[in-house]
Amino acid sequence: MTEATTARIGAIAADLDQFEGQLVTLEGWLYNRRSSGKIHFLQLRDGTATLQCVMVKKEVDPDAFADASKLPQESSIRVTGVVKRDERSPLGFELGVKALDVVSKADEYPISKKEHGVAFLMDHRHLWLRSSRQHVIVRIRHTIIKAVRDYFDGNGFTLVDAPVFTPNAVEGTSNLFGVEYFDRQAFLTQSGQLYMEAAAMAHGKVYCFGPTFRAEKSKTRRHLTEFWMVEPEVAYLDLEGDMDLAEDFLCFIVERVLAKHTEDLKTLGRDVDALRKVKKPFPRLTHAEAVDLINKAIDDGTADRRPAGTESMQHGEGADDEQVDATPTLTRARHDDDFGAEEETILGRLFDRPVLVHRYPYAVKAFYMKRDPEDDTRALCVDVLAPEGFGEIVGGGQREDDLDALLSRIEAHGLPQEVFEWYLDLRRYGSVPHSGFGLGIERTVAWICGLHHVRETIPFPRMLERLSP
Ligand code: 4AD
Ligand code: MG
């Protein structure tokens, strides 16, 4: 036998002309097996894809053939064979097996073809990640993160990392995780924004990308306690410019995912045509206009409050969450309040692309938001709501750049001024209008992949009742 080269399935698929007829060794895991007396059809998973390897009894060592008939799922194996073009294979080829080497025989695998509940799958998340659907989601998440970085890196932004230990709250004090920091109290960061404001005054256009933490005490399908957020911040940018940036950025991400993953999205059951509609311009509504639209839909009886997305399983925690989300009757949206999940769903379902809602009531928004000079009941902020009922994916706006206005906001929010002195300095030394936003990666993955719950969008989710694996 000539020397086999070690290769990965994905690399062979990408260059089939070169590999056709070649002897290769694939290193992976047994995903599935079908056998007749004389042939084993082995599905080999190697991290890039799953390939059918055909093992014919009379062409291999008899012991190896017998071993293969007893191998449990997820045993690790090395398979050597010849690459054969095959039009019936989704990859365009299969492997004609010459030799099989068992690296480690697996115990009986706990995740079987039968339906499992959410709690069971989440308890086995470390293994569940190997299944084809979860594999696709993680790869799309990777593409989204790469697109996020490429967008900012290609548009003059500098990456500036924000700290995770912080001395203060950014997004309200009710969902802070406190940590012991030697003899002091510290918190896990809720957002890198305030640090990005400092960095924007040094670099003009910056972004940070990292994990952020919120002690969310309710179970909802949109909240994690640890999630990844990308936060651009730009000096000399107003709210209009901020909305343009968010719009352009979201179009770039969706285009990238469609270019690379249309087939993957279809395997998830995602309506790809709906994603193709994500093109500029996005509708822009004031909060007041949005409230009127929601209430009109409620009054007309056309309000569509169905939660978005599909799921890999229909039992356990999933069912509980539905009860948490559900309310018996629709409550009208209010002009003086923020939106709840249901209002975001109803509004998002009125449009075929993301909708930008700006100028929420000043009183209900974070302390750092700039007041609208045209209407002092409004903040110069924007939320982007995904279509099809996936809810808020972006929150941001123009920041208060006036020292006195900011001081009075810190006081009004009952926040300790001392810890914000450095932040106030940004208004003392060359203050400029500036804006930014935060995009939640998991909400974005849920929307783009069409997933009902954020728990499947991150490799190891952290939620109220889940800290392991
Ligand atoms: O709207 P948020 O709270 O905005 C901020 O933190 C700003 N300081 C960002 C900025 O302007 N630099 O959060 C931004 C986004 C939300 O739109 C949502 O996508 C995501 O972060 N997010 C969460 N995702 C998952 N679980 C949670 N508990 C989330 N909270 C916010
Ligand atoms: Mg928000």
CATH number, domain with residue 147: 3.30.930.10
Using 70 as the pLDDT threshold, list the residues of the chain that sit under it.
1, 311-328
Write the residue with the smallest CA distance to atom 23 of ligand 1: 440
Q: What is the dihedral of CA 362, 365, 371, 375, to 10 degrees?
A: -20
Total domains in the chain come to: 2
Let me know whether 69 and 139 are in one domain. no
- pLDDT for position 427: 98
Let me know whether 184 and 332 are in one domain. yes
Residue 216 near ligand 1, beta carbon < 6 Å: yes
Domain span at 60: 5-104
Let me know whether 247 and 314 are in one domain. yes
Q: What is the pLDDT of residues 249-293, one digit of tens each?
A: 999 999 999 999 999 999 999 999 999 999 999 999 999 999 999
- pLDDT for position 164: 98
Residue 357 near ligand 1, beta carbon < 6 Å: no
Write the residue with the smallest CA distance to atom 29 of ligand 1: 223
Does the residue 35 lie in any domain? yes
Does the residue 468 lie in any domain? no
Ligand nearest to the CA of 360: 2
Write the residue with the smallest CA distance to atom 24 of ligand 1: 440
Residue 191 near ligand 1, beta carbon < 6 Å: yes
Query: Which atom of ligand 1 is found nearest the CA of 444?
Result: 19
Does the residue 284 lie in any domain? yes
- pLDDT for position 305: 87
Residue 437 near ligand 1, beta carbon < 6 Å: yes
Does the residue 462 lie in any domain? no
Query: Which atom of ligand 1 is found nearest the CA of 229?
Result: 21
Does the residue 111 lie in any domain? no
55, 82, 104: which is the final residue of a domain? Answer: 104
Let me know whether 272 and 372 are in one domain. yes
Please give the angle made by the CA atoms of 166, 171 and 174, to the nearest 5 degrees.
90
Does the residue 136 lie in any domain? yes
Let me know whether 12 and 35 are in one domain. yes
**pTM for the model:** 0.95
Let me know whether 150 and 35 are in one domain. no
Let me know whether 100 and 193 are in one domain. no
Query: Which atom of ligand 1 is found nearest the CA of 233?
Result: 12
Query: Distance, CA 188 to ligand 1 centroid (Å)?
Result: 14
Q: For a pocket test of ligand 1, which of 170, 176, 191 has the largest count of ligand atoms closer than 8 A to its C-beta?
A: 191
Query: Which atom of ligand 1 is found nearest the CA of 397?
Result: 11
CB neighbours of residue 167 within 10 Å: 15
- pLDDT for position 313: 59
- pLDDT for position 177: 97
Let me know whether 188 and 86 are in one domain. no
Residue 194 near ligand 1, beta carbon < 6 Å: no
CB neighbours of 292 closer than 8 A, spacing ≥ 6?
Answer: none
34, 69, 104: which is the final residue of a domain? Answer: 104
Ligand nearest to the CA of 438: 1
Let me know whether 72 and 131 are in one domain. no
Q: What CATH number is attached to the domain comprising 89?
A: 2.40.50.140
Does the residue 465 lie in any domain? no
Let me know whether 100 and 126 are in one domain. no
- pLDDT for position 309: 81
Q: Are 92 and 119 in contact (CB under 8 A)?
A: no
Query: Distance, CA 123 to ligand 1 centroid (Å)?
Result: 27
Residue 223 near ligand 1, beta carbon < 6 Å: yes
Let me know whether 21 and 128 are in one domain. no
Let me know whether 80 and 186 are in one domain. no
Exposure on the CB side of residue 132, measured as CA atoms within 13 A: 16
Does the residue 254 lie in any domain? yes
Phi-psi region of 21 (alpha: psi -120 to 50; beta: other; left: phi over 0): left
Q: Are 229 and 440 in contact (CB under 8 A)?
A: yes
CB neighbours of residue 72 within 10 Å: 12
Q: How far apart are CA 294 and CA 350, in angstroms?
A: 9
Write the residue with the smallest CA distance to atom 28 of ligand 1: 223
Q: What is the pLDDT of residues 155-196, one digit of tens each?
A: 999 999 999 999 988 888 889 999 999 999 999 999 999 999
104, 132, 166: which is the final residue of a domain? Answer: 104
